[in-house]
């Protein structure tokens, strides 16, 4: 069947338009660096791309949260390290105060220094980052302890709350990242209260009571061991946070690569497609140019 001029012209324009779209798509991929610039470029891959982008956004938020928690955990760990050093000094003063050659005035002088150390220990519980008191549990806008050395029991009751603070690992699991000041410094378990041990020593020295001093020394040792255990807890949390940060960084790289594989241009393939389309365009235009010189007699042969 011989096609008339109108049908042939329509077919030519349709084919030329399709080739033009291939050229434009290849040029766009080369200049933009992206293979997928609109839904029509790869409709079957858009859903997967959106899923990966959502997962990447979630992972980046987890990474950000972990970074904030790392700062808090590091600050808490440093505070407890300082607390351990303070307790080391308390132990030294306790040993000095237990020396039988000391007089009452000398013990009272040591008692004053022990009181200063107790004040520093209580101040550590007020360690804060970005306006949050790290050892106050969920009531992180409240200073956990107050101190008044003029009172027989100089430190207040715990002013904070329990801690439910957790952070999410990129795997989806969550882990706890904080202890409270009463767990660390005023554990009710016999022998674990740092505050009670130091205050007992302070009062025993002020009273020039050798028996009470020796008893307080025992409490200082046991509470120091407890404080070291709490420091070890934060060391473990630091390792967990660092591992989670490494995992989130690795996962972000993987997701970025998956996104790149879907949407980024394969430059060699795009250039090849552009060259082939341009060659086909020239061939189509040349063929049409040849047909345009034919006459009615060519169709009647």
Distance CA 242, CA 66 (A): 9
Distance CA 195, CA 187 (A): 9
**Mean pLDDT for the chain?**
85
Residue 293 inside a domain? The answer is: no
Residue 199 inside a domain? The answer is: yes
Global pTM value: 0.75
**Is the pLDDT higher at 18 or at 127?**
127
Residue 42 inside a domain? The answer is: no
If you search the block for the tokens 């490494």, which residue do you land on?
246
Could you tell me the residue range of the domain that residue 123 belongs to? 82-250
pLDDT digits over 172-188, tens only? 999 999 999 999 999 99
Q: What is the mean pLDDT of residues 283-289?
A: 64
The count of structural domains within the chain is 1
Distance CA 142, CA 126 (A): 9
Distance CA 265, CA 174 (A): 38
Residue 222 inside a domain? The answer is: yes
Residue 145 inside a domain? The answer is: yes
Residue 19 inside a domain? The answer is: no
pLDDT digits over 33-79, tens only? 566 555 455 566 778 888 998 999 999 999 999 999 999 999 999 99
Q: Which residues pair with 168 in a beta bridge?
A: 174
CATH code: domain of residue 121: 1.20.1330.10
pLDDT band at 267 (very low <50, low <70, confident <90, very high): very low
Residue 257 inside a domain? The answer is: no
Residue 231 inside a domain? The answer is: yes
């Amino acid at each position: 069947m011989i096609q008339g001029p109108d049908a042939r012209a329509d077919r030519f324009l349709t084919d030329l338009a399709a080739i033009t779209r291939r050229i434009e798509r290849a040029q766009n991929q080369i200049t933009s660096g992206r293979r997928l610039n609109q839904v029509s470029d790869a409709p079957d891959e858009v859903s997967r791309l959106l899923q990966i982008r959502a997962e990447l956004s979630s992972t980046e938020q987890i990474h950000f949260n972990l970074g904030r928690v790392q700062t808090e955990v590091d600050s808490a760990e440093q505070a407890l390290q300082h607390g351990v050093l303070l307790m080391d000094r308390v132990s030294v003063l306790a040993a000095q105060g237990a020396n039988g050659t000391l007089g009452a005035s000398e013990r009272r002088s040591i008692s004053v220094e022990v009181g200063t150390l107790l004040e520093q220990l209580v101040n550590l519980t007020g360690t804060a980052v970005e306006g949050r008191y790290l050892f106050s549990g969920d009531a992180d806008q409240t200073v956990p302890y107050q101190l008044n050395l003029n009172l027989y029991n100089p430190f207040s009751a715990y002013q904070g709350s329990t801690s439910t603070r957790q952070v999410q690992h990129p795997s989806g699991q969550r882990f706890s990242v904080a202890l409270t000041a009463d767990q660390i410094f005023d554990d009710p378990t016999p022998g674990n209260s740092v505050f009670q041990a130091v205050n007992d020593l302070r009062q025993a020295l002020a009273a020039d009571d050798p028996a009470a001093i020796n008893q307080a020394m025992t409490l200082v040792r046991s509470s120091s061991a407890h404080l070291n255990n709490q420091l070890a807890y934060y060391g473990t949390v630091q390792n967990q946070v660092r591992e989670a940060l490494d995992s989130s960084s690795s996962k972000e790289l993987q997701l970025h690569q998956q996104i790149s594989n879907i949407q980024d241009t394969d430059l060699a393939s795009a250039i090849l497609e552009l060259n082939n389309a341009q060659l086909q365009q020239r061939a189509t235009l040349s063929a049409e140019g040849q047909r345009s010189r034919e006459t009615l007699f060519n169709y009647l042969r």
